Chain A
Amino acid sequence: MVYIPRTEQEKTEMLRVIGVKTFDDLLADVPEDLRLERELDLPPPLSEFEAKTALRNLASMSLDPDEWTCFLGGGAYDHYIPSIVDHISSRSEFYTAYTPYQPEVSQGTLQSIFEFQSLITRLTGMDISNASLYDGGTAIAEAVLMANAVNGRKHVIVSGCINPLRLAVLEAYLGSSGFKISVTGREGGATDPEEVRSLAGEDTCCVVLENPNFFGVVENGKPIGDIAQTSGALFIVSVDPISLGLLKPPSEYGADVVVGEGQSLGNSLSFGGACLGFIATRSQHIRRLPGRIVGRTVDADGNRCFCLTLQTREQHIRRERATSNICTNQALLALRATVYLCWLGKHGIAEVANLCLSKTVYAHRQLLDAGFSPRFTGPFFKEFTIKMPVDAATVVERLAGQRIAPGIPLGRFYENETETLLIAFTEKRTKAEIDELVLALKNAAGKGRGGS
């Protein structure tokens, strides 16, 4: 094996130093009947060239990104990733390091996490952030567990307009622990504050809102935040971080915890992973925050430096009483988000958000002009729903021939939304691509239910 720097002669000498004759002597504590007497049944080993070819062949079995135009969103977005992001994150100083347990030799990772935490607080308007969570879905689940740790309550009110995949994650996380989950309706495409009010009470642990929500609609968070506050519940808001270049930070409408999916911040789609969950909250909840936190301190010479802090919340110290079981997180993705947000800077984040908005507004207008009707009418940011005259999944199939992935048919999530298509527009989508999409959808829809 080329990754093992040892010759047969070295192996013999090392066994001699150990004081055994053969390798099998080192298996003395493995009962003989538990030793595998055959080789594993795996294909013969490949050279690097052959392995690369095999992987290339697999990669080519999926769609060719050069030929396809993709309008899919739904929690994963095709934003531009600047070269600097790949170049920084592919430095082995970063990617071959472990969790920075020993701060004296991990300042690079530690300071970059501190900067990540700072960027997330600046974007969300919150006081503190952790070092990352697995993804946007588990971040919601962790936020709810955190809310329960803060107020001890077990009734969770969740907007029915949040991403159904994230809702499913929340249900799986809470399913076994005696929580009651109330999901509001999604009929209008936005969360109805009156329904939240009717559900909220003294037992309400938290209210979970997504903004913009799964249908792309920008929610009015303030009245919902007020209801949460009145009932002593925590207000948890899940955001698309890019939207915060343009939309009011959740801190301004009463959020106690802000979570989200950071894939859109300089991280590739990669079939939905690795993703980047983030969580930010108010200072008073710091001891309930899950996961790693980096803090600033000084070294023995009084120089400013960084280290993991408040580790007594964490599983490796507190074990069964930890705030969360998370250990390995998504650090390298957080580094990429950090570089990306520095690249955008104060003005770039607004500019990219405005580009998304303009493209989306343009596409919406073109589709309406072409005779399509919106499924929901609320304000939107970079994604919206359109009602197709035929089954939306059929439309998706029909557009495959033109190498267009036009959006997500919502019938796969909701039985009564089979004709709804969710379409997203990032700054990468050009006017020409949008025009082509509109024309293609018009043609596909015009074919009626029968033809294909």
Chain B
Amino acid sequence: MRSRKTIFEESREGRRAYTLPSLDVPAASPDAVLPPGLIRREAPELPEVSEPDIARHFVNLSVLNHHVDRDLYPLGSCTMKYNPKVGEDVANLRGFSELHPLLPEGLVQGALRLTYELGRTLCEITGMDDVTMVPAAGAHGELTGMLLVRAYHEDRGSRRTKVLIPDSSHGTNPASVEIAGYEAVEIRSDSRGRIDADSLKSHLSEDVAAIMVTNPNTLGLFETEICKIAGLVHDAGGLVYMDGANMNALLGISRPGDFGIDIAHLNLHKTFSTPHGGGGPGSGPLVVKEELTPYLPVPVVGREGDTYRFVYDTPKSIGRIHTFYGNFSVLIKAYCYVLMCGAHGLREAAESAIINANYLLSKLRDGFMVPYDGVCKHEFVLSGKDKLKAGVRTADIAKRLMDYGFHPPTVYFPLIVEEALMIEPTETESRETLDRFAEALGRINAEIEADPEKVKGAPYSTPVRRVDEAMAARKIDVAE
């Protein structure tokens, strides 16, 4: 493939795409109204291109992407499900998209009501009492949650310093804990890939502010002792936080509020079908039990009869964690999804996600090591460890999958599985797609036996061949 030009290389002096409204007031000369030292003297070197240039450039870039509308995107813990098109349409309704965030509340009742109702819906789904819709992503929800934990303990005059995190957790968990000023203490998973309640006891003390669990965990396994774990942490005066990234497995099946969770974030861009946008925007609402309500970030959306308003008079609040109210445009899409699913549809989504994962696992069990076998929930983890003897790493398998038209699963995560392949098919994939994927992995398995070099040289049919990521880190070139 020939290298693609950057938009800067396509720039030609004198070309332009913009048209702007005519100047209908007297022209103000910057030199006349601004101190000379504050004025830009050299125009920024933005590209000079026409609109057709822009259309070609970005459309040609777009087709280089793998994406959900094209084929399976089985990234574990990312829940790359289909994104209903209607969500895009309703988010673009001008009564939402053209609302300024600082308009008087009386002029934004629709937006407030949507935020309020989606929040109540999330409380029902999770069995929790209250919610903030502000966090802009899962990790933002985690940080907010940890700030709530801190506020809760400080309000009780207790200074705790540690947060317990299983070794299978998402990387954002310990990072969020650190930013909130806590020490992250790793606890080891047991031979079943779960937290062992008895061994947890040795970690508990008056220093422990909270435990951060993921349920189902990143191995796709339900934490069977979750109630006991929560009880032990509560007895020690700590709180239980749940990373809700994997909530897709639990919709209508089991509720965090019913198994001892005090705080949980949800990922609307995973469980509630809003698109990932190539890395965002997401949305990470936080649901809490009522004892955490006083600390929620401002503003909270409240309701009085048929009127909705922002509530700021919460003196114990952790304050503001987003300039405005979070990623409202994402809330619209999630709300539309929930309206169309109803209780039955949500339960069916979770059931089908679990069926799809178990079906795929049963198809792959013969060809790959399954370090923690048994029924899984929405995802499962394989190990490519036994392929190392042929010189093939999991990274090679991932790259070879691209030649069969698939996006690879999450690889080398969770960290507790060597050569991990973490697979989450989601409920929106058909049986035929799962069969094709299993067949591709089966053929790669055969290739590892017969011609490992072929696998190690993959991919061959992608827009670019294997990318030298080491060189990118060595010779830093991050702007043109």
Contacts and interface: CB of A to CB of B under 8 A. Distances in A.
Interface stretch (A168-176, A197-205, A228-236, A439-447): A168-176
B89 to A, nearest CB: 7
Contacts of B24: 430-432
In this complex, the member of B40, B73, B267, B464 whose beta carbon has the largest number of chain A beta carbons within 10 angstroms is B464
A1 B349 contact: yes
A357 B30 contact: yes
B428 A3 contact: yes
A190 B200 CA distance: 55
Interface in B329-348: 329-330, 332, 335-336, 338-348
B25 A341 contact: no
A114 interface: yes
B362 A17 contact: yes
Nearest to B150: A176
Interface string B465-480: 1111101110111111
A343 B39 CA distance: 23
B179 to A, nearest CB: 5
A279 to B, nearest CB: 13
B320 interface: yes
Contact of B467 (A274, A305, A317, A360): A305
Interface string B245-272: 0000001111100110000000101000
Interface residues of B, number: 206
Contact of A327 (B3, B25, B138, B258): B138
B65 to A, nearest CB: 4
Interface stretch (A115-123, A181-189, A369-377): A115-123
A305 to B, nearest CB: 4
Given A43-B339, A97-B276, A331-B278, 9 more contacts: A40-B125, A62-B111, A88-B62, A100-B278, A247-B40, A248-B41, A299-B466, A305-B464, A328-B282
A90 B201 CA distance: 51
Interface string B297-335: 100000000000000000000111111111111101001
A297 B467 contact: yes
A62 B18 CA distance: 31
19 contacts: A28-B375, A36-B252, A51-B339, A97-B65, A98-B407, A112-B58, A138-B136, A138-B321, A176-B147, A176-B181, A270-B329, A272-B323, A273-B136, A273-B325, A297-B475, A316-B172, A325-B172, A325-B176, A397-B104
A297 B362 CA distance: 39
Given A4-B427, A34-B259, A349-B46, A102 B408 contact: yes
B479 A346 contact: no
B90 interface: yes
A261 interface: yes
Interface string A230-268: 000000000000001111110000000000010000001
Given A40-B347, A244-B40, A343-B51, A297 B471 contact: yes
B328 A274 contact: yes
Contacts of B55: 84, 87-88
A303 B464 contact: yes
A245 B258 contact: no
Contacts of A14: 355-356, 359, 431
A41 interface: yes
B222 to A, nearest CB: 4
B142 A325 contact: yes
A15 B64 CA distance: 37
Contacts of B258: 34, 36
Contact of A127 (B278, B465, B479): B479
Contact of A92 (B69, B75, B430, B431): B69
A449 interface: no
A434 B25 contact: yes
Given A40-B346, A405-B100, A62 B472 contact: no
